[in-house]
Structure 1
Amino acid sequence: MKPVIGIAACGSADNRQFVTEAYIEAVSRTGGIPLILPILDDAALLTDYLQICDGFLFCGGEDITPLLFGEELLTDRGSTDLFADRFHLALMQTVLHAKRPVLAICRGMQIMNLALGGSIYQDLSLRPSPTLQHMQISGSRKDPCHKITVSQNSMLSDFLGTYANVNSFHHQCLHFIPPQIRPVATASDGVVEAIEIPGHPFALGVQWHPEVLLSLDPGMEKLFSTLTERAGSCLFPGSAG
């Protein structure tokens, strides 16, 4: 049986929880069974999610509530959802502790950083140095926005090489990065664009949106195919174990 990839619901609107179709299609295209995981206020379900999923995908979404990383609100940009934030943080901590394969995209990468004790800038304007425009305005989400430089001897460099052009749809970014996490890609302004967790079977976070770039760059597809491969090769109690 194909590995089951649990996709944490991106958020909610009009009493409906949702996941953007591109994430579902990316998992399916690369050999996984996509399973949407609802946002619920029940800690016991986190263990249940581990039982039924072989790997996990965290998506983009709203801003993260500043109080969760020890700050008060400093800007009027973006909206937050404390209920979703708490669920995503708890699920990420559970997944990382269990060493399950996980790919975290945009907000998901920020959740990964926070889950291990890191912090984020509430807005790029709060960084002490000049910053690129990271919230692109273009005709297509597939359009490139800026270049990233990838660290040598990183897992990401195996997929993308030393440089890549990426799209960009964020106004927050990583600030303090805990020692368990290795930054592995940056934009020209120093903003961290990707992170990995050394010693973990597969824990990768990227700030851009590779789910819409699969048809344009084989390296972007490799992010998802490696997630499903690692999920399928590990003997978990889930469907592929």
Structure 2
Amino acid sequence: MRILIAEDDARLRSLLERALRESGYAVSSHADSDSALFEIETDASDLLVLDIMLPGSMDGVALCRRVRERDTATPILLLTALDAPAHRVAGLDSGADDYLTKPFHLSELLARVRALLRRAPLAVSPVLEVAGVSLDPASRTVTRDDRSIDLTAREFAVLELLMRNPGRVVSTSEFIDHAWDAHYDGYSNVVASTIRHLRGKLSSPGRPDPITTRRGSGYVLHAEGDPR
């Protein structure tokens, strides 16, 4: 999943980027409202984390309001050092889904991110089932033939993308956009390595490997009985 951060404090922005990436999210970050708005309007994100005191043509509250004029679904988390009730009310009334006051513990921020993503339209989709594999986006659990499978955040994101596109070749760049950063350096190796580990975890006696490599194109997840 992709998370956009708009935070002008370089140190905090770096801490947020690292914490979110280590949790398996793809992250893009901005230091002002104008560059953040440009990306918001040109590329999809699964969650927006916006500082209220942003430089640029609008602050975080105005940016949140601007986003909500076109997008009522993407979760928005506001960050601010302003903790008066009036400030919290203004932020929530602008369309934000949650509000976190600085300073905060990264563990709390990550918990709020997980909660917001669980409420997002993509995350509350029905359980996905392909080739005996069952993936629940809400609880982030995976089973195959009733056997629970423990996946890393990256492996889960890769499998989810495959299961949302059964029978279609998913390119390496699509995996990068979904589970890593758009400018990640080392595309093919990291995707191939993740697919290899995922195949090992999904292997089941008497069952074929559900993931097929299309050399030079990407990977495809087959439903049982589909031609390969």
TM-score interval, smaller chain: 0.3 to 0.5
Greater Cα radius of gyration, structure 1 or 2: 2
Q: Which has the higher contact order (CA 8 A, sep 6+)?
A: 1
Larger fraction in helix: 2
